[in-house]
Every structure is written in C-alpha cells, then in structure tokens.
Structure 1
Amino acid sequence: MKTPYLFSGLSSPTSTSSRRRPGSRSLGWGESLFENHVFHQPRDLDPGLRRGDEPEKQLNPINRYKTPWVLILFFSCFLLLRFHAFAENKMEQDATKMVSLQDVLKIAQKQNPAIKAAQKRWEAEMESISPSRSFPDPVLTFVTYKEELQTRAGPLEKKYGISQKFPFPGKRKIKGKVAKEKARMAEEAYKSKSLKVFSQVTNAYYELFYIDQSIRVNQQLADQIRHFARVAERKYATGSQTQSSVFRAQVELAKILNDLITLKQKRISALARLNSFLNRPTREPLAPEKPTHLTFDDKAEDLIKVAKKYRPEILAANALLGKSEAATSLAVRQYFPDLTVGYEISKIGSGNTNTTFDGKDAEAFRFQVNVPIWFNQMNSQYREAKAMRASSEALLMDWTNRTMFEVEDLTVKMETATRLIKLFKDTVLPQAEQALKSSQSGYEADRVRFLDLLDSIRTLLQFELEYYRYEANFGQAKAELERVMGIPLSEAKKLN
C-alpha cells in the first residue's frame, strides 16, 4: 500500500519515479523540488560529481542569502529594545530629577499668567500718565453759508477758525498726579501678585516635598515589616511564635501599602497644583529638594518696621491715599473756569461795493470762559473726593494693623518650627531609632513581643512624618512671611 502525500514534489522513501532522468536521484524525505531545481548546481563544482556527492563545504543557496537578513533583523530588534530601555530609564530619571526652589520661582516669574496680567496692567497705567497732563485737542472750525450774507465789505462767503482750551492753572498737573498714583497702585499690585504667586508656589513645592518624604518613609517601613513578617513565619514554623504575629504583620503591611496608594494619589494632585502655577502640563515631572537653612532668630519688632516700609499692600494704600488727596484738590479747582482762545477769519467777496473795504477778509480773536454755576454737581464731586480720602486713610490703617498681626503670627510659627526641627533631629528621632533597633534585636532573640516591635515601628513612622511636616511648615511659613514683608528675609536682616 502506498503512503499518500500532500505535495507532488515529495516521494516516498520506498517508491521510485518511472520518469526519473539518468543520473538524477530521488528526493529525500522532506526535500522539495524548489530546493533542487530552482537553484542550479554551482559552476565551480566538479562536473564529475553527482548531486548527492556535493562537498559539505558547498553552502545551500537559500542559507547563503538568508543568513545576513537574520543577523540584520536580530541586531535591529536588539537596538530597538536597548532604545526602549534607555527611554524608560530617561523617563524615570526625569521623574526623579531634583529641582531647586529658586529654579521653580524663576519659572513662575516668567510663565505665570496672573503675574503677566498684573504686569501688563501696570504698563497700561504707566502709558496713561502723559495723556492725562496734555492739553485738550484744538478745535478747527469751517463754516459755509447756504446764502451769502451781505456786509459793508461785501458778501460773507466762508469762515475758518481754530480754538484751544486752556484748563485752569494746576488742573493738568493734578490730573497727572492722579494718573501717576494710579500707576503706582498698579505697580504695587503687580508686586503683590508676584509675591502671592511665589508664596503659593513655595507652599505647593514644600507640600510635594512632604508627600515625597512620606512615600519614602512608608516604603522603608514596608520593607522592614516584610522582613519581620518572614521572621515571624519562620518562628511560627519552628513553634516559637503564634500565628497571630504573622497575621498582625500582614495586616500592618497592608495598612502601609494602602497609605502608599493614598499618598501617591495625593502626589499627583500636589504636582498638578504646582505645575498649574508654573503654566506647565499637570503631569510634568518634578522632584523638590530638601529645605535648607532651617534656622530663624529674627525679632518680630524689627520685621514689622521693615514690613511697614516695603509691603506692597501698604504702599498701594499709600498710593491710593495720594490719589484721593489729588482728586480732592482737583474737585476744588472745578469751581474755577477754563479759558478757550480762538482765531477766526471770514472770507468776503469783492466787487459788490465801492468802499475801500471791498473784498477785505475779516479777522477776529475769540476768548471764552465756562461759567461753573452747577454747584450741586461740583459739591457732590468734592464730597466724593473727601469720602475717598477718608476711606484710603482707613484702608492704610487696616493694612498696617493686619501686617503687624501677620508678622507676629508667622514669626511665632517659624520659631516654633525651628525648635521642633532641632528637637526631633537631635533627640526624638535618634531615640526612636534606637528604640526600634532594640526591639528588633529583642524580637529576634525572643525577648520582645511582636506587638511591641510593631509599636516601635509605628512610633518611628509617626515621628519621621512629623519631622518632615515641620520642615515643610518652616519653608511655607518663611515664604508667607516674605510675602507679608515684601522683601526676602536675607535683605531684611541687612536693613536691621
């Protein structure tokens, strides 16, 4: 019985072809006609050799063309994988790239939209100073008559004229002062907005720092609990520990892992908030640096004196008071008239009279003054200006009192944070770490219960988180104090 084959080019090892040419051989098992007939025998072979007797050194034609492409494909895949690994590594490096607070503040200064808007308002107010002190536009007059008006010198045909209004002396100067004080208010508003944005950026920066440190501390403690969970399992296997210790370790580990998930979610929100102030994409990577110079020894009285001189809100209130005083002076001058001076020339037709003035143009100078008789309106303007002046004085006093309180409050916060940072760094944290090491060695030697070990771990976790919270609070309070003062603390020390 013959064995069936799916391909006509394959023959059974036991069958022969009746049409085989002399000198040819049967196709071996698995060989194809393509391999034997498409590629002819190379010419450099000995013609006396049969196909079945070809030397081993003669390469198969398919392999000769296929091998380079396999190598190219292999190296292409290798390079692609290496590039992908490099890209992932670069992304991780970017995500953990440390950026200093000063660099972040420079980005905010250049890119924050609120700062740009305040700056443009200031520039706009500066441009209004010069026009406010200018004279009104002159008035050019041209009159033509539908019917000629007869005069002694001839018919009046047309009339030309020009006039200029001159406000009462002092009005233009006062208007310029009002515009100048408004520009000064816009300038202080720009400074205030910049300091406020800097404070918000610093607050978000140190909040992100605290979250990063919390994630790091929780990850380290999770590794420790994993280690002691394995120790508890070994002790349970040997019978020296109950199974409840293993369960407690697993529960504590699950709690820390749950806290890590929450902290990572908070980090995404904190990073988005910081990037929003920098006018960047919300997921733009950024890692804050650890705060430095965590000391504070300034006195509140000295800082209050500096804040009264440099706080933008106080300076803006002073500018508003100056504007109100100028507006009051301007309201008084509204009782005095303005002068208008004009020149006119009338075109007279000639040839209609026998006088010596026939056809002679008439020239005239015109002087006008307005008569301020609506005293109710002017009195209302004066009372309005006085009320605005009183309001400005009260606002200035309010900002002064608020500044004194805020400087005092922030000074206390910074002093408290400084003492707590020193206390935790020098005393609390070393003692908590020593207590944990003692509990670790005692637990491994079966002298300390697992619950006591967990309590030591929780205590160290709590103290480390409090320590980093105090560091973040110090940086945030410092930024807020500099916002209230209007200048950095380093410059304030030089002034004192």
Structure 2
Amino acid sequence: MRRILVPLACAALISSLARAQSPVAVVPTTPPPEVVDAAAAPLTLAAAVETALQHNPQLRAAAAELDASDGGVRQAHLLPNPVLGVEQEDLRSGAGTTTVQLSQTLELGGKRAARVELAQRDKDIAALDLAARRSDIRAGAIQAFFDALAAQERVKVAEESLRIAGSGVDAAVRRVTAGKVSPTEETRARVAHSTARIELRQAQAERSAALRALTAVMGAQDGSVQRLDGDVAALPPAPSAVDVMARLPDAPSVRRAQLEARRADAGYTLARAQGVPDVTVGVGAKRDQQAGRTQAVLSLSVPLPFFDRNQGGQLEALRKRDAAQANAQAQALRLRSEVLQMADLLQARKEEADLLRREVLPGAQSAYEAARTGFELGKFSFLDALDAQRTLVQVRGQYYAAVAQAHRIAAEIDRQLGAQNDSPSTGTQP
C-alpha cells in the first residue's frame, strides 16, 4: 500500500507545483490602428463616426474590460483544489507512523452556481458598458463633427463679412474723394474692416480647435482633418414623448441600473449560500513502521454553524439589493425627465434656427443691401450702412449658434437614450 500511495502523492504534488509555475498565456495587445488620413478629401459624418468607432482608444479599453470578465466567469466555475497532507509521527528510525491523505472540500448550498451567476452578471455589466461607451463615442463624434462644421461655416461668414467691410471701405473712399462725406466716414469704415479681420482670425482659431477636438474623438492624427463635407442646416428631428418612452428601456444608464439590481440579487443569493457549511472528505493511508502494517484512513469534517452563519453578510447583501432596485427605478424617472426637457429645448432651437433662416436672415440681408446702396447714392450715412452690416453679421452668428446648439442637444439625447443604429442621420432640412 505504501509503495502505491507515496509515489502517487509525490506525483500529485509535483503536478500541482508545475501547474502553479506554468506561465499564463499572454494575449498580445492590439497595436495602435493606423490613423485615417482625411486631408485628401473632405470628411463626411459617416466616415467620422466609423473612424471613431474603430480607432477610439476608450472603446478598445472597454472591449478589453469585457474580455477580462471572461476570466472571472471561468474562475467562478472552478472547484476548490484538493489538499494533499503528509503526517509523520515519531521521527525515530523504524518506529514512526506515516499518514498520507488527500482531502477535498465539497461546496454545499449552491455556492458554485451562485458564484457563477454573480460573475455572469459582472460580465453582462461589462458588455453593457462596452455598448454604452460605443454609443457615447458615436454621439461624441457626431457632436464634434457638427461643432467643427458650424465653425467652418462661421469662417465663411467671417470671410463674407470681411468682404462686405472691404466694399464699405471702397465706397467710403470714393465718397470722401468726391467730397460728399467727411473723412471721418472713411476712418469708421476702416475700423469696421479691421474689426472684421479680427473676427475672421477668431473664427479660424475656433475652427482649428474644433477640428482638433474632432480628430481626438476619432483617434486620428492631429491635422489629418482639414475640411468637412456636410449640411449644418440639416437638423435632426426632436423625439416626442412617445419616442422617449419607447427608447427609455434600452437606455444604457437604465439598463445598467437594472443589471446592477440583478447583480445585487445574485450577491444576496451567494451570501445565503455561504451560510451553509461545506463538507471536507479525505482518503489516505497510514503506515505503522513498528507494527509493519498499512491501514486505510477516511476522514469527514463539517464546520458547526453555532455562531457564524453569515448573518451580517446576508443582511448587507439584502439591503444592497433593495438599494439597487430603488436606484433602477429612480434612474428611469430621472432620465425620462431629463430627455423630455432636452427634446423640448431641441424643438425650441430648431424653431429659432428656422425663423432666423426663413425671415430674419433675408430681412437683415435686404436691409444691409438697401443701406449700402443708399450710402453709395448719398441717401444714407455710413453709420446707417455700418449698423445694417453689424445687424447682418450678428444675425448670421445667432443662426449658426442656434444650429450648433441643436446638434449638441440631439447628440446628447442619443448619448442618453443609446444609439438606435450605427449609421448617423443628419436629420431633415427644417
């Protein structure tokens, strides 16, 4: 018996040590993706979103977190390791007793199933975090694209304003030369021209900053995007209350709160299972050197749950479950209120942009042209023309500010409710 058990025990011990020292397989990290060179052609919204979803490092980090959760699920399935014990009594030669025993803990109360369920809930949350991060990056790319597109349009407006101011200078110079107006009019015209040049430089700086923000969201190289192709005036539709309620259950924050409640419930199940004591069984052999015989050894040990039945752990897990369920309800109510407020604000910004585009902008343009023509014909003073010019510039700035704000709100609504698909929609022309 000893000739069989001792080599077996040594083999088991060596195998266990070899597995413990074996290197863990290392998954090579994905090299950074090649950046998209968009300098050759204007960048479209679809290309910006696709590049962001493929190259954004935050999305790769979330994907790595999901892959890491697979290890937690695999670990939860594993059984406790057996324990090999060797006991030597009386170290005198020929008079000792050697006992070799192999013990195994048997988990009772559904601990393993509860542990696996808890690990699976963690994996579900990681998967949802990946989807939420994808939706967040998509919304961020859309917002950054339209911010840059609006900045690009503001540069065009500033260039047009500079051209208008230049024509005002030419008209003032002609009238001063003809002796029809005071040289002060020419000075005012040149001041307005200088102001327009400053505004153009500011608009160009804002466009550069917006393009840098866009390339950062895309995960592209700084300076790789120079021009954008899109219609900034094409505003997305504002969701109705019915649309919000229909999309609310799929909102990332609501789904995560619900998964947190399920995870807390799995934690409570595990806490209850941990209150059930485990049983440890053992089998081995005992060799008495003095008597010259080998005896079989069987053992059974069970903890007596007189004091610790994990009462505190169960109470803690139960209250955490109640808190998670209440938080899920509160999250749904909060998100519904916030999204409906944003939808109302989006509709207001769309109406503002529509009114400016249909009525105010044409009126300001007509007023400026009439004032400029009147100034050239000597019917109006330069102050009248300058006032009409400033009004036109302000109205244009107000229009693009309303359009940019509308796109930001629409992107935030998509971020909160989750993207319905990966193909961005620019909305319909108001």
CA–CA distance in structure 1, aligned partners of residues 363 and 117 of structure 2: 65
Please list the CA deviations of residues 151-190 of structure 1 after superposition, one character each: whole Å capped at 9, or x if unmatched.
xxxx665332212111113111111111111111222222
Q: TM-score, length-normalised on structure 2? A: 0.82
Alignment CA distance shift 1:254-1:292 (3 Å): closer
Which residue number in structure 1 is paired with residue 305 of structure 2? Answer: 372
Alignment of 1:202-241 (within 5 A): 202-241=142-181
Quote how far apart the aligned CAs of 1:490 are: 9.7
Q: 1:99 maps to what in 2?
A: 43
Query: Does the 8 Å CA contact 1:108/1:277 hold for their aligned counterparts?
Result: yes
* Residue 283 of structure 1, aligned match among 212, 220, 223: 223
1:144 is displaced (CA, Å) by 4.0
Residues 74-105 of structure 1 show CA distances to partners (whole Å, capped at 9, x for unaligned) of: xxxxxxxxxxxxxxxxxxx9658421222222
In the other structure, the counterpart of 2:400 is 468
Q: What's the counterpart of residue 85 of structure 2? A: 141
Distance apart, 1:256 and its partner CA: 1.2
Contact in 1 for aligned 2:233/2:403 (Cα 8 Å): no
1:298 to 239, 262, 266: 239
What runs of 5+ residues in structure 2 fail to find an aligned partner? 1-36, 426-430
Number of residue pairs aligned between Structure 1 and Structure 2 = 388
1:322 to 246, 255, 262: 262
Q: Secondary structure at the match of 1:361?
A: strand
* 2:255 is aligned with 1:311: no
TM-score w.r.t. the length of structure 1 is 0.72
Q: Which amino acid aligns with 1:368?
A: S
Distance 1:380 1:433, change over 3 A: same
* CA spacing shift, 1:200–1:161, aligned 2, 3 Å: same
**Aligned with 1:438: secondary structure?**
helix
Determine which of 110, 122, 127 is the counterpart of 2:66.
Answer: 122
Structure 1 gaps, min length 5: 1-92, 354-358
Preserved CA contact (<8 Å) 1:156 1:346: no
Per-residue CA shift, 1:36-60, capped at 9, x if unaligned? xxxxxxxxxxxxxxxxxxxxxxxxx
Match of 2:125 in 1: 185
CA distance in 1, matches of 2:422, 2:288: 80
Q: Cα RMSD (Å) of the superposition?
A: 2.7
Q: What residue is the counterpart of 1:57 in the other structure?
A: none
1:407 corresponds, among 315, 332, 339, to 339
Task: Tell me if 1:485 matches 2:417.
Answer: yes
CA contact (8 A) 2:38 2:224 kept: no
SS of the residue aligned with 2:310?
A: helix
Aligned partners of 1:490 and 1:340: how far apart in 2?
54
Question: What does residue range 410-421 of structure 1 map to in structure 2 within 5 Å?
Answer: 410-421=342-353
Q: Please name the residue that 2:18 is paired with.
A: none
C-alpha contact (below 8 Å) 1:96/1:287 kept by paired residues: no
1:94–1:348 distance in 2 versus 1, CA, 3 Å: closer
- Between 1:116-125 and 1:417-426, the stretch displaced more is 417-426
**Partner letter of residue 317 of structure 2?**
A
Match of 1:258 in 2: 198
Match among 194, 219, 223 for residue 134 of structure 2 = 194
Does the 8 Å CA contact 2:280/2:301 hold for their aligned counterparts?
yes
CA contact (8 A) 1:107 1:278 kept: yes
User: 1:276-311 CA deviation, whole Å, 9 max, x = no partner?
Assistant: 22333433333333336425253123313312x111
Provide the rounded CA distance (Å) in 1 between the counterparts of 2:40 and 2:198.
22
Matches for 1:449-464 after TM superposition, within 5 Å: 449-464=381-396
Q: Contact (CA 8 Å) 1:161, 1:343: kept in 2 or not?
A: yes
The one-letter code sitting in structure 1 at the alignment partner of 2:388 is S
Out of 448, 454, 461, the position equivalent to 2:380 is 448
Q: What amino acid does structure 2 have at the position aligned with 1:401?
A: L
Q: Which whole-Å CA distance do the structure 2 matches of 1:158 and 1:291 have between them?
A: 86
Aligned residue type for 2:282: G
Q: Which has the higher contact order (CA 8 A, sep 6+)?
A: 2
Greater Cα radius of gyration, structure 1 or 2:
1
1:348 CA drift (Å): 4.6
Q: Deviations over 1:441-477 (max 9, x none)?
A: 3222222222221222222212222222222222211
Given the superposition, is the C-alpha separation of residues 177 and 321 from structure 1 closer, same or farther in structure 2, using an over 3 Å criterion?
A: same
Paired amino acid for 2:155:
I
Identify which range, 454-463 or 93-102, moves more after superposition. 93-102
- Residue 364 of structure 2 aligns with an amino acid whose one-letter code is A
Secondary structure, counterpart of 2:101 in structure 1: strand
Q: Secondary structure at the match of 2:231?
A: coil
